[in-house]
Each structure stands twice: as structure tokens, then as C-alpha cells.
Structure 1
Amino acid sequence: MPEPHTLGQPSRVLFMSEAIDIIGTHLTPPDLLRCILVCRAWNILFIPHLYDTLDDSFYAWPEFLDPPRKRHDTAKPATKRARKGPGWILETFTKYGHLIRRLYTNRLLFSDAAAQTCTKLTSLASQEIYLAYPFIEKENPIPWKPTELSTALKRPFDTVDRVWIGAQWLWKLVQQNAQTLQELELHGFVAMADHDSLLDLLGSCRRLTRLKINRSEVPMQSLLERMPQLQHYTYLRYAPPSTAILLTSPMPQLVTLRIQHGITKAVFFSLLTNLPNLQELTTGCRYEDYTRGDGLPRFEIKFTPSRIQRLHFTRCSSDLEKNEHRMLAEILQWIPDLIQIGIPYLDPNTAISIVSNCLRLQSFQQSVRTDTILRRYREAGVANSLGIVLCNSVHLTEFDGVRHEIEARSLVLNPWICEGLVILRLQIIGVTRLTEEEEMDYKQGVLFRRLNKVLSEAETRALEKYEEVREQHQKIYGQLAKLVHLKELELGMEYRDLTMRWKHPLIQRGAQWYRDYGDTFPDTLELSLASGLDQLSTLTKLEVFGFESVDYRIDEEELRWMAEKWPRLRVMRGLHEIEDLPLLMHDGEKWHRRAFMQRLRPDIRHEGRKK
């Protein structure tokens, strides 16, 4: 921040006609000068922070840039913000473009204006910008075409095509910020440039350490040779030929690599061999041995173990037999330092491969995120497989697999050794519970026993089963109570199908119609004090507690206990309001419990779990 002006210094601010017109008649010249200097100091301090990051998808930018849409909900007032034209956008960028350091754009108006004004960007991200609204393409004529890049761009479109011209503007933006760019994300336009021109342009970005592109067949070997400083590379949305990502010589600079599509066995081990400093690798479906048909030579595994610490597979194998364990058994023995693994499918053989080879494992993550754990959509794997991981990974601090299930009987018989867990997301199923009829028999049996009356056979069975239920609950709570470092405990998530809402049947209650979205899972924990919930008083560090799909018996007594025993609790998932399910019947009991908890602990947020 520059040195502030003193009153004795001559300044042109006293001759600003705008200031004189507004406040000049009410202030003496020294007071007027002080006001203007305060405004100037304020702008110098805060304007750079205000324009440091611009994203045309947030705040008022969409309303300024997009056409008005027809409103189906007339009850909500229409926006009062007027749409801005290209002149206003360009004027804004001309004034503040030199302050912008991070730019995220999905609209041609933004990229066009930025290409004419921004020269100090450190981060640039452009999504599917060619899907801009047609009205923008018509109302925003381009007065300038960067001729120096025209020959580098392929011409799959007509000469006057707006997309082709927009691509030139985007490349111009990259070109004029080549000396400052550190992060670059480009979608769509990459395919419009030939390989040599793309490599030349990216090679000129000497400070670029993070690159995310798609739709390009530029060989990764050539790219890394041109960019010796590149540390993080992501390739999305296109299945490149194996030869495009096969490495033939060491590239020590790369630290993280993400390839959305699956890769072959030969490519996988070429990456491990030639990326000696790679710490994180993410790829699509599990590799299968395609080496016979991809034109590559057969590959024999002979190389030094890799230093990779984090390995993620984002898709399941297409093999119906789910032979992931064979691949993992072959791969993991060469990655002895692995501390984190993410896979979408887990069965006993896969779990055995993990615990046999990953002796330092600290984090297990389900790599596929879904909206629901509806049981007819099970794709996470075989029940109880997660128990193998929890029983054999002493260093494990995170198990993020809410789609994975473990049966109560298996949990009780096989104690976990990972008592340092901080994050635990899973489903405990197969919990013995009383049916509604057995509940009635149990209550009747308790009453008759107090009155010394003879119990019926059904009442006797209900009393015996209740003791079994309580004993099983006590053992499960006892296992969870050992995890004294837990900060996040989630025993379920959204259990309804949010994508196929219209498939849920309609039911009538009085004069109203509702959709039957189904019930919570019946074979889950009660989470009541009567069942032994108080054993979890040891979880004093708990910050997040989720039970969305659980058939819980939580009432005011349990909520009062949670509010007292879990002082760090900040988020509850299970009592929140569902707003995006049409014709959902109002749950008065849930509303009452949430209101009660909000009175006890207003600092706790009630929200559902995101993907």
C-alpha cells in the first residue's frame, strides 16, 4: 500500500468536479481532501481483493450475462438486474482486468473481454464454453481476430463460426499470460489446435505446474518433455490411444496424474516405471490385459517399486466376475508405500489383496459417489468385505465407504484393530430388531411380569428376543466406543431414489395425494439409550453424526444426551428437511425433533450428505 498523502501535499483530488458537485458545497477543502483520500486508500486496499478471483457462474454474473428465461413459478418475483451488454463487460475488464489473478469462465463474453485486458493471470479455467447461449453469439460481434493463432487452429467449422473465433480469443488469453500462469484448465477448445501449436503454447508457460485438459491426443511423453516444471496433470473425458499416454523415458517432475479413462497393463507399469516421483495416480476402470489388441508389446514386470502413496480407480471393471483382486494383487506388491486407496467395488478377495500388500494403509475411500444407497442399486461390493480391511489395517484413520455394508454378526465376531479411526462411513445391517407385533407382546409381557401374571408363549419369546437385541446392540456400541478419535461417524445416507421420483407410487391420505418414497432400512441400529447408546459417550471429539437411512428410535431423551455428551458436534444428518422431493408427506415427528435439537444446540447444522 503506497504512502498516504498529507494535507500539505498538492493533489489533483480537489479539482475533481464529481466530488465538488456531490459534497463540495458541504465541506471545507481540507475535509473534502480527507474524504477523498480515505476513499482512495479504501480502494487501494480492497479493490485488488475484490477482483482477485472472478467466476462467471457465481454471484450476479449469470444474471448480467444470460438471457432472461421463462418463469414457470409466477409467485417468485423476477430478477431486477438488467442484462449487461458486451460494452459494459469490456469496460469493467478494462478497468480491473489487470487485478484479476484467477479467472473461471463458461461464457464467451468473459473470455473475449479477458483476452483484451488480463495480463497477470495465475489460474485460468474454461469449461464447455462453446455451449454459450445463442443470443450472446449474435449480440457480441468480434472486432479483432488474432491472426498469429489462426493458422494453428484447425478449421472444422465455417469461417465465421462463433466457436472458432472464441477459441482464438481463449488461446490469445493463454498466450498473453504465459509468463504468470500456474494453473490451466481447458475443455473443448484443445481439440481445435494441432499438436505442435498446442505444445509450443503450453511450453511457453514456464511457471505452469497444474494442467487439466481434454479431447487431445498429444502424446504425454512430448508434453512432459516440453513442460519440465509440470507437477500435476489431469486428462478428462476422452479415451486416448494407449500410445498417447505410454511413457518411454523417465519424467521425474510429475507428482499427481489423473486419467479419466482406463489404461492397459503395459501403460500402467510404464507410468510406474517412468514417473519415479509420482505420489498420486487416478485412473478409470480397472485395467484388463488389452495388450494383445492395442498394438503394444507384451509387458513383463521388472522395475523398482514405485513411491506412489495414493491410488484411485474411478470405475468398476467391465468383467462380470469382478476380478479386481487379481489386478490389485499384481499391482499393489509394487507400491509398498501406499497409504490411500480408492476403489468402487469391494469383495473379500479384493479386501485380502489390499490388507496383504498395503501394510501402511491409512485411508480407504469409495471412489464412486452416488445420490442414493437404495439397496436395489447395490454396486459397492459384497457385504462384510469391509470388515477384512477394518480388522487388519492397524494404521487406518479413514474408512469412507457409506455404500459398503457390514452385518452385525460379523462385526461382533471380528473385532477391529483400527482404533485410530477419525472418519468412519459405513452401513451396519442385519441388526436384530423387534417387529411391531413383538413390541406389543414385549410391553404386555413386562406389565404382566410386574403383576406376577402368567405370560403367554408369544410374550415370553418377545422378552427373550428383547434381551438378544439389547445384547447385540451393546456389543456393536462397544466396538464403536473404542474409536475415541472419531470426528465423523455416518451410518447411512439418502436411501430414496432421487433420480426416478415419478416411479414412486402415489398414496392418498384424506384429500391429499403423496408419493410413497419407501421406509428406512429396518435391520439397522436403534440409536436409543435403552439399547445402549450411552456407551458412545467416549466419542467426545465427534463433529459429524449421520443416520439418514437408519430406522432409529432417537427422541428427546437421546437428543438431550447427544447435546451434552458430544460437545463438538456441528453437523447432524438425519433430521434435516428434504426440499427437492415432490409430494413428500410431512414428517411431524422429525420436524419436532429437529426443532427440539435446535433449541438445545443452535450451533448444530442439520443437512443431508452430499455425494
Structure 2
Amino acid sequence: MAIISTSISPPSTSLPNQALLIVELLERVGSHLAPPDLLSCVQVSQYWNSVLIPRLWHTIDDRLYSWACILNMYVSHTAPRLLRIVKAAQDANRSSSSSNNNIRGSTNAIEEGKVLGQIALDVWPSKRTETVRWLFNVFKKYGRYVRVLRVSWPIVIRVAGITGHCNQLQVLTVHRIAMRQGPARNREEVAVRRQQYMADVTWTENYTGPTADWPGFWRRIADEDDEARFWSTNPPYLLDEDPLWLNWGIVQRFWILVLRNPMLEHLSLGRGLKTLVPFTSQGLVYYILGTLSRLKTLDNRFMGLELQKVLEHTSTTHSGRNRNLFYFMDSGCGSVLRLEKDFAHLTTLAIKGSVESSYVLMFLKRLANLDQLFLGRITLSDEGQSLFVDTDDSYEDKSCLFALSGLHLFLVGGLTAEYKPIHEALATHLIPRLPLLTQLTAEVLTPKMARALATHCKQFRVFRQGGDDECINENLTVKTELNVVSILLESCPNLTTIDAIQHRIDATYLAEHPWACEATLETFRCQIIGFERLTFEEYQDMSMSEQDTIQLPSRGAAEEKYKRSQEQHHRVYECLSRLVRLQTLDLGSDVKSAEFHLFGDGGDEPTREVNGRIHLIDSNPIMDCLELSLTSGLDQLATLGNLKVFGFEGLDHRIETAELEWFATHWPQLAVMRGLHIDDSETLNKRDTKTTRQRQVMQKLRPFVHHESATPTSILERRLHMAF
């Protein structure tokens, strides 16, 4: 962060307090403080104010802190704050009317309610103007400090574009627009909206003067683009059939804001921009992209663009040097994906939606330096050609190799017969041409795909399961093949990550097939099943005294089963104990379905009790899983001294207080546990008292261990989150 020049000198103070006046120290401390704490710091003294103000205004995200409360005042007469005032007046009215007071008192209450409501409506225009002026002054005074701007309110877009002081942005993100109304119901409402808009614009432009850089720029675009010419001469706010409350002026201000920030490195054009205007010129977008000489990441979800034109306008910097670009696009918006030219500057391409298989090789051939490829779904091509087979006659070598290191397929249709040809072609034709592949994300892994990775990709390191949902419910989970993940563990000596919680390995199979990656594996998220586990009744049979053996012939069978189970557990524990570099060990998942998160839990979901714990019927625990008890051999995992994440949710794990004490003692770096967290189900939180008690015990033993659910986050979303 740049240090602002100031004439303010540090005040004289005692020697012990002089450290608090060191600029570098203040800046370092300020970088770790949240905006509310920074706001308190800048009020300490004029010296602290001068040093920390740039840090306070480094990032503006109008979804956080008090922004929504302030901006709600601007929206309309339906804003929450005004509604609360009117509702309070109405409540007072109803309360007085329903009381047994005399008629005169009731009449006074009614009149009082009407007066309060009218006062609220009368002060509304002044409140709107007050909000706009405050926002204008913020960007005029502090806009030069803003480096990261994340917006979801059009008024913020318009004011930031008008002031001209917000011109040092490095990150600009548009989220879903929060301030939107439906179509106007009549001409009178259209006239009122237009009058409110023009009043606000007139006030702000009287302070800033006309925007000099937009008219000439727009004329150049309109000369080349017929659709742009139409919208420039017929802006929506001049039409009686105004379909949205927003207007062409805000669209102008947004692109002016982008134009004034040529140093932008990350630009996110979210779906919220769709609500600004029914159409935005493609030529406008292409031209502006060409002005961003430092652009590294582009996220486009609001309109269809031609991939080739985007790459043409972002191909080189102003100095002529190539640069790397991460481009995310939504093919569902009508984007055109075909490439007729080669481009060397694109290193990461992410496409949400369906992509025909014929395009995959086109991307690999045309994008020579492509390193990471993210595809939502591969569909069968209509051209009748073999999947992933090069049919381009201009390429003499039909089996040329590609330098791709990461292939991420988030939805390939599971193991259904319809998508079996895609799995076969991936293993037969595509993976053999990717010798540098180190990462693969796929919804499912087939044996042929696993063997192809082991044979052709000698440096392969990471396999992740694609898709967005994780659940142990067999009716919701993706069907996978048993032991297929073990092929990678046995054959890839550089493997570091297996993140595939819906895939399963049989315990007996695991013990009989040693892993080649014992010295490198750091993350293991996979179910280990097939253990012979004693039921609660069988444990009771074994606890009976010897004199009762005659009356209990099943005791001998239980003892034999227990011996087999112990041997099975010890062999698996021995295999896991050799993973000395392991940082994440996650053996289960109990994440609810998308429907549960959408509609919530009414508190009356059907449940069942298993070994003292309450489970939803739809998420019954895995019963043949690894028993995580000291009696089963858990202490063999004392070698996992680097373990940071331990997950066992959704398992019949048999963990008790003794095991929790063992975790706290033998895993000093443990930071996250998944299995004792506060569940998002109201039913489970109220009834599962055993989990609550154990979480409290663990919090006393290790208060800094975080308890969470293993909510899945795709690698693409993590990359986008890091970028923006």
C-alpha cells in the first residue's frame, strides 16, 4: 500500500509509546484490522488518521457493515426503514382501535397514525438527496484510496462513475444488483421515477460538470455498432414503456468507471448488470477491454461475447509484451466459443455451462499456453466425429501433445450409459495427449481413466471430485465404482491430494494393495468401508459373564467377529499411519441436499438414534466405516503429527471423551474438526445432546480448534474468490 504524503509530524511522546507512531508499524497493524476497527483507529489522532485512512478506504464492499442500512434510504418509498416507520404508525393505530378507550381516543390514535405515515412520506425526498450527497462526498474525498470496489447497488456505480476520483482501482466486481424495482404500472409512475432520477442526476452533475470522456467515445462505438447507435439515440429512460426502473445513464457511468481505471487487474461483470439495461453493446465491451493493459482476470456472466474477439482485444499490453489471462465465461448467455486464430496469452479458461466435445481439442490447439481448463459439462458433438479425435486436416500430426496441467470437468453425467462414451474417450484419446497433466477434476473416476493417468501422466498429483453437492444419502449421491481411487494411490508416486468423498475403498482391498504415494500424500478425503463392525447388541453379548455362555451361544460368534474386525482395523490403521505428511484426513460427509439448504428445517424432521446420536432419516450414518476408537487401534495414528483437518461426519465413529483427549494430545497442529459442529438442522441441534457435550469437551481441551461441516467449494470458485 502506498504511503500518502502528509505535513503532519508525529506528536512528541514518551519513548515507550513512540513505536505507535512508526508509519511502517501502523500500516502493518492496519492491514490486519477490519473496517470497524480501522474506523476507531483513525479517530484516535490526526497522525493515525493520516496513516490509516488509505487502509480504511482500500476496499469498499456495499454488501457489508452499514452500507445496506445507508443505501436502503435511497431506494424508494418501499425501503425497509420507511416501511418500519409506517408499520409502527399502523400498529399504534390498530392497538388504539382495538382497545376499550372511548371513541374520541380512538379517533386521535387514527389521526396520529396518519400523521406519522405522512411525515415519513414527506421526508423521503430529502432523505434520498441526503444519501446521494453523502455518497458523492465519500467518493470525492476518499475515492483515490480505493483499490478494491465490490458493488451491488446502482447508486454506488453511478456516483463512483460521476465523481471521477475513483481512478486507482485494481479490482472491480459487480454482484447481483440489490436495488431494483419491477415494471412501472402506469404512465404516472414512469413520470415519477424519471423525475426522481433527473433530480438526482442534475444535483450530482452540477457539482461535477459534464463527463468529457464519454460522448466522443460513445460516438466512435456507435459508428461501428448499429445496436449501440440505437441505444445511444433511444435510451430507456426516455421511453414511456420503461421496462426497468434503471436507465441508460447508469450503464454509461459504469463503463466510464471502467475507462477511468486502466490499471484494473481483475474485472468481474456479474449477472447483476443484466438488470441495468436490456442490452449492452458488444462492441462497447470489446473496446473497453482493449484499454485495460494490466488485466489478469476477467469474469463475464452477464452477456454473450465472442471468445475470439475477447482474446483479440486482450492479447497484448501497451508495451507489446504478452500477459497471462484468466477468463471465466458463461456459455449459457449465448457466448460464441469457436476460435479461428491462435492465442498465446490465455493461461486459464473457465466455461460455465455445456461445451461440445469437439471444442475441447480446439481450445487445446488454439491456446498454446493454456494451463488450466475448467468446463461445466461436456456434451456429445453433433458432427458425428469420434470424441476427442483430431480431424483437422491442417494439422499433420494427429497425436500432438498438449501442455495442459489442469483439466477440471464439473459435470459429466455420472456413470450413466448416456455419458459412458465421454468417459471412454477421455481415457483413450484425451488423457494420453496430456503428459504434463498434474490435476484432474471429474464427477466420477473410471478404472480406465485412472490407469490412463497412471500410465501417461507421470507427474500426476491431484484428483478432485467435481460437482457441487456432497451427501452420503444413496438417493442423492453420485454413483461411483468401488476401489477405483485406489488405482491412483497404488500407481502415482507423486500423488498429493485425493479429494473425493463420495468415492469408496474397501478396507480389505486397501490393506492388500500398498500405496505408492505414502511419502507425498497430504490430503485424503475418501470413504473407507467394508469393516466388520459389532452391533450394540453384540457388544452386550461379549460383556456377559462366562457362566452365562451356555444360555448365550451367540457370544462365541460375536467374539470371532470381533477378532476379525480388530485385525481389519489394525491393518488399515497401519496403512494410514505411514502417511506422515498427511494434513487432511476426512473419512465421511453429511452435507445436506440442496433442497434442505433452500427450504430449511422446520424442526420436525424425522430422526433416528444411533449409538446415542441423533441423525436425520435422510442422512443415516455409514455403519461399516472405520471405528475411530482407541480399542480399535486409533493410537496407531500418532505418527500423523502434521494433521490439521480431521473429518468424520456421517460416520458411526464411536468417538468418546477418551478419544477426544487423545486427539488433543497427539495431534498438536489440529485446527479443524468435522463431525462435532453445530448442525444447520434445527432438529439435530436441539436433540443431539451427545454431540453438543462432546463439542464442549473438545473446546475446553483445544479452544482454538474450529468445528465445521465439510461444505464443498469447487476449485473454480476458490480461484475466483482469490482473484476478486
SS for the counterpart of 1:525 is coil
1:409-488 matches, cutoff 5 A: 409-419=508-518, 420-444=520-544, 447-448=545-546, 454=550, 456-488=552-584
Q: Distance in 1 between matches of 2:10 and 2:647?
A: 62
SS for the counterpart of 1:262 is strand
Q: Structure 1 residue aligned with 2:270, among 164, 184, 187?
A: 187
Unaligned runs of 5+ in 2: 12-41, 73-78, 89-126, 185-191, 206-210, 223-227, 239-243, 317-322, 713-724
Quick check: which one's helix share is greater?
A: 2
1:210-609 matches, cutoff 5 A: 210-229=297-316, 231-239=324-332, 244-292=336-384, 299=392, 302=398, 304-317=400-413, 320-321=416-417, 322-323=419-420, 324-329=422-427, 330-370=429-469, 372-379=471-478, 381-419=480-518, 420-444=520-544, 447-448=545-546, 454=550, 456-497=552-593, 499-500=595-596, 501=601, 505-506=605-606, 518-582=619-683, 584-609=685-710
Q: Is the 8 A contact 1:53 1:103 kept in 2?
A: yes
SS for the counterpart of 1:311 is strand
Instruction: Give the drift of 1:408.
Output: 1.8
Q: Is the 8 A contact 1:263 1:284 kept in 2?
A: yes
1:50-199 matches, cutoff 5 A: 50-66=56-72, 67-68=79-80, 85-117=131-163, 118-129=166-177, 132=180, 141-143=200-202, 147-148=215-216, 149=218, 151=222, 152=228, 155=231, 158-160=236-238, 161=244, 162-177=246-261, 179-188=262-271, 189=273, 192-199=279-286
Q: Distance in 1 between matches of 2:267 and 2:399?
A: 33
Unaligned runs of 5+ in 1: 9-35, 75-81
CA gap of 1:214–1:506, structure 2 versus 1, over 3 A, is closer
Instruction: Give the drift of 1:356.
Output: 2.9
Q: Structure 1 residue aligned with 2:53, among 43, 47, 55?
A: 47
AA paired with 2:426?
L
CA gap of 1:245–1:318, structure 2 versus 1, over 3 A, is farther
SS for the counterpart of 2:311 is helix
Q: TM-score, normalised by structure 2?
A: 0.71
Q: Is the 8 A contact 1:423 1:488 kept in 2?
A: yes
Q: Distance in 2 between matches of 1:7 and 1:608?
A: 48
AA paired with 1:439?
Y
Q: Distance in 2 between matches of 1:63 and 1:416?
A: 56
Work out the percentage of aligned pairs sharing the same amino acid.
29
1:176-199 alpha-carbon deviations (Å, 9 max, x no partner): 21x221211113448833332221
1:28 equivalent in structure 2: none
Instruction: Give the drift of 1:388.
Output: 1.5
Q: Is the 8 A contact 2:58 2:146 kept in 1?
A: yes
Q: Is the 8 A contact 1:5 1:37 kept in 2?
A: no
SS for the counterpart of 1:545 is strand
Q: Distance in 1 between matches of 2:604 and 2:260?
A: 55
CA gap of 1:338–1:506, structure 2 versus 1, over 3 A, is closer
Q: Distance in 2 between matches of 1:319 and 1:345?
A: 7
Q: Is the 8 A contact 1:340 1:363 kept in 2?
A: yes
Aligned pair count reads: 563
Q: Is the 8 A contact 2:236 2:247 kept in 1?
A: no
1:363-395 alpha-carbon deviations (Å, 9 max, x no partner): 111121225332221215222221122221111
1:221-250 alpha-carbon deviations (Å, 9 max, x no partner): 2222221245224333333668x2222222
Q: Is the 8 A contact 1:264 1:291 kept in 2?
A: no
Instruction: Give the drift of 1:327.
Output: 2.6
AA paired with 2:260?
Q
Q: Distance in 2 between matches of 1:335 and 1:502?
A: 50
1:61-117 alpha-carbon deviations (Å, 9 max, x no partner): 12222332889xx9xxxxxxx997222212211111111111111111111111123
CA gap of 1:391–1:586, structure 2 versus 1, over 3 A, is same
CA gap of 1:164–1:326, structure 2 versus 1, over 3 A, is farther
1:26 equivalent in structure 2: none
1:13 equivalent in structure 2: none
CA gap of 1:537–1:508, structure 2 versus 1, over 3 A, is closer
Q: Distance in 2 between matches of 1:527 and 1:567?
A: 18
Matched, 1:2 2:5: yes
Q: Is the 8 A contact 2:414 2:443 kept in 1?
A: no
2:22 equivalent in structure 1: none
Q: Distance in 2 between matches of 1:250 and 1:154?
A: 34
AA paired with 1:185?
S
CA gap of 1:317–1:610, structure 2 versus 1, over 3 A, is closer
1:515-565 alpha-carbon deviations (Å, 9 max, x no partner): 756532211111001001111011010011010111011111111111111
Q: Is the 8 A contact 1:154 1:194 kept in 2?
A: no
SS for the counterpart of 1:248 is coil
CA gap of 1:514–1:425, structure 2 versus 1, over 3 A, is closer
Q: Distance in 1 between matches of 2:589 and 2:10?
A: 64
1:425-467 alpha-carbon deviations (Å, 9 max, x no partner): 11112221112222221222xx31xx69657431100000000
SS for the counterpart of 1:286 is strand
Q: Is the 8 A contact 1:53 1:101 kept in 2?
A: yes
CA gap of 1:425–1:287, structure 2 versus 1, over 3 A, is same
1:24 equivalent in structure 2: none
Q: Is the 8 A contact 2:501 2:525 kept in 1?
A: yes
Q: Distance in 2 between matches of 1:202 and 1:379?
A: 40
AA paired with 1:346?
L
Q: Distance in 1 between matches of 2:53 and 2:460?
A: 46
Instruction: Give the drift of 1:125.
Output: 0.9
Q: Is the 8 A contact 1:257 1:282 kept in 2?
A: yes
CA gap of 1:129–1:610, structure 2 versus 1, over 3 A, is same
CA gap of 1:317–1:607, structure 2 versus 1, over 3 A, is closer
Q: Distance in 2 between matches of 1:198 and 1:113?
A: 21
SS for the counterpart of 2:693 is helix
Instruction: Give the drift of 1:602.
Output: 1.5
